Amino acid sequence: MNIILGVTGSISAYKAVDIMRLFQKNGHNVRVILTRAALEFIPALPFETFCPGEVFSDQFEKHQDPLVHIHSARDNDLLLIAPASANIIGKMANGIADDLLSSTYIAFYKKVVIAPAMNSYMLDHPAVQENLKKLAARGTGIIDPLFGSLACKTEGKGKLPDPQDIFDLTIRFASGVINV
């Protein structure tokens, strides 16, 4: 399977490297799209090391296909966004395409899975909950965040699940075994 792994701005972005590697070790091709906010949490280098030529962050980068979002959407079977921030969830739910990842999503008509990760106050906000409901109604698979210790030194729901769990649930969703 050809997979796009979208990585957004969350303290749990460091887990995305392990998610990418799990898919690769199981025979899947991975293309990575990092948002600008993701690059504040983790550099592109770990992704570029294991996915040379398949890591993107800027839709208008020189020496890059200007239609990378269209070609990525056409040439891949699944879009997984892990971690998915409140920002990308809002963009997806409301059709905003103002960066490479959100533009790729708007052009993507195959299976989509997101793994939200954020502070529990953010996750519980009515706007975020409404956006998640919109996405679920459109068929987006949503991997529930876990309850646990959060970066803000509180306990609550909002923690990114273990990379192995994200891998397993995504594969099961992609094969039609479950709806997440």
pLDDT at 46: 92
Number of domains in the chain: 1
pLDDT at 2 over 70: yes
In a domain, 160, yes or no: yes
In a domain, 26, yes or no: yes
pLDDT > 70: percent of the chain: 93
How far is residue 128's CA from residue 89's CA, in Å, rounded to a whole number? 7
pLDDT digits (tens, 9 = 90+) for 77-130: 999 999 999 999 999 999 999 999 999 999 999 999 999 999 988 899 999 999
In a domain, 84, yes or no: yes
In a domain, 180, yes or no: no
- The CATH number covering residue 147 comes to 3.40.50.1950
Active site residues per annotation: 152
In a domain, 152, yes or no: yes
In a domain, 20, yes or no: yes
DSSP-derived pairing of the beta strands 141-142 and 155-159: unpaired
For 160, the token pair is 């990114």
Full residue range of the structural domain in which residue 169 is found: 2-174
Quote the pTM value.
0.92
- Supply φ then ψ for residue 74, to 5 degrees: -70, -40
pLDDT digits (tens, 9 = 90+) for 155-169: 878 889 999 999 999
In a domain, 154, yes or no: yes
In a domain, 179, yes or no: no
How far is residue 144's CA from residue 172's CA, in Å, rounded to a whole number? 15
pLDDT class for 26, splitting at 50, 70, 90?
very high
- Supply φ then ψ for residue 82, to 5 degrees: -150, 110
Picking from 111, 42, 124, 50, the residue whose alpha carbon sits closest to that of residue 81 is 111
